[in-house]
């Protein structure tokens, strides 16, 4: 039986890491001191800002609050962590896995809320299957500058069920729910995971290539048609995973996410604007790789992946992106 307060460490100092840290810290300070929260990462400007003056979190309704976060880049300060909530970019997973080995308690749990495919495998190799939980979140947030975060859209946070550590996982989910982040676990995790993957595969690259907010994708019939083409191609690949989605169902979900997070810059657009590597390889690139294993052609996802390799030429015009992708459909 644990004799100390639950120790939660959020890996990642970007938009999502800051958002989860802020909501949990606010709950801890104002309502429930039975756990501690620490944000860990390497972005020194963000760590300095939130440690010095706190994080200004602006909600969708325009209300703001200042939350003083505990943030560090020193591993020794997060030793014996009970739960590591992983919010780093997918390409950073290999770097943080040795750190998780060092700081997780013997019964600790690593929970990945990262985008894309392929994040769980390296965690399992280092920590073992019983200590890793795959999760997802459809929350939307934009880090305006160090210390200033805009919450751009609500949504569920879902984790796969973990019978070995169910009590620990349930404790975290209870705290997330109490902090205003709707959260639950499920045995049927594969379907919502792929649903989010496909929605991301449609929204993220298009917003990143055109430098548009999520809601702006709904302002043009041309863009709606492009979203439909991407979703349709991804659905075929999902069938290789024994998942069957209706095109209308996923297109409606994609449109709903655009509406809910209308003012959000997608994570991929934020990366492009800040000249950071994107997660295109873990999202559309991963769909392409799955398709190749089954002999399925994915020309649109392949082209989207190629276009985001060199971000210096962005933004593209809507007309250029449309002609490029439609030509793939006609074989030109």
Report pLDDT for 114: 98
Query: CA nearest 294: which of 239, 245, 240, 238?
Result: 240
CA dihedral defined by 192, 194, 198, 204, rounded to 10 degrees? 80
Residue 144: left if φ>0, alpha if ψ -120 to 50, beta else—which one? alpha
Report pLDDT for 163: 83
Report pLDDT for 162: 85
Report pLDDT for 209: 98
* Domain limits, the chain: 6-186, 190-330
pLDDT tens digits along 44-61:
999 999 999 999 999 989
Report pLDDT for 165: 80
For domain 190-330, which architecture applies?
Answer: Orthogonal Bundle (1.10)
* Regions in the chain scoring below 50 on pLDDT: none
Q: Let me know: does 222 contact 241? Beta carbons within 8 Å.
A: no
Instruction: Report how far residue 142's alpha carbon sits from residue 157's, in angstroms, rounded to the nearest whole number.
Output: 17
Report pLDDT for 182: 98
Report pLDDT for 330: 64
Q: Which fold has domain 6-186?
A: Rossmann fold (3.40.50)
Instruction: Report how far residue 37's alpha carbon sits from residue 24's, in angstroms, rounded to the nearest whole number.
Output: 7
Report pLDDT for 1: 57
CA atoms within 13 A on the CB side of 242: 2
């Amino acid at each position: 039986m644990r004799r100390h307060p639950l120790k939660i460490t959020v890996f990642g100092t970007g938009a999502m890491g800051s958002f989860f840290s802020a909501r949990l810290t606010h709950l801890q300070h104002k309502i429930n001191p039975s756990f501690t929260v620490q944000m860990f990462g390497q972005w020194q400007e963000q760590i300095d800002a939130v440690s010095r003056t706190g994080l200004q979190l602006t909600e969708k309704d325009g209300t703001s609050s200042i939350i003083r976060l505990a943030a560090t880049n020193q591993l020794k300060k997060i030793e014996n962590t009970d739960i590591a909530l992983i919010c780093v970019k997918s390409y950073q997973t290999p770097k943080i896995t040795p750190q998780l080995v060092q700081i997780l308690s013997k019964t600790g749990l690593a929970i990945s809320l990262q985008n894309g495919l392929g994040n769980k495998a390296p965690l399992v190799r280092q920590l073992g299957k019983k200590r890793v939980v795959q999760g997802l979140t459809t929350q939307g947030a934009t880090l305006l500058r160090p210390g200033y975060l805009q919450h751009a859209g609500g949504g569920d946070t879902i984790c796969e069920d973990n019978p070995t550590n169910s009590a620990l996982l349930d404790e975290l989910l209870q705290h997330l729910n109490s902090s205003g982040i709707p959260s639950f676990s499920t045995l049927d995790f594969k379907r919502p995971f792929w649903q989010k993957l496909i929605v991301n595969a449609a929204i993220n690259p298009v917003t990143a290539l055109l430098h548009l907010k999520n809601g702006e994708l709904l302002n043009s019939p041309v863009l709606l048609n492009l979203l439909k083409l991407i979703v349709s191609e991804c659905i075929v690949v999902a069938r290789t995973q024994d998942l069957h989605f209706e095109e209308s169902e996923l297109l409606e979900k994609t449109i709903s996410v655009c509406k809910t997070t209308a003012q959000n810059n997608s994570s991929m657009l934020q990366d492009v604007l800040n000249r950071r590597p994107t997660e295109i390889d873990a999202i559309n690139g991963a769909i392409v790789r799955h398709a190749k294993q089954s002999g399925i052609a994915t020309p649109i996802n392949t082209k989207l992946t190629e276009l985001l390799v060199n971000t210096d030429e962005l933004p593209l015009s809507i007309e250029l992106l449309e002609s490029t992708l439609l030509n793939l459909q006609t074989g030109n």
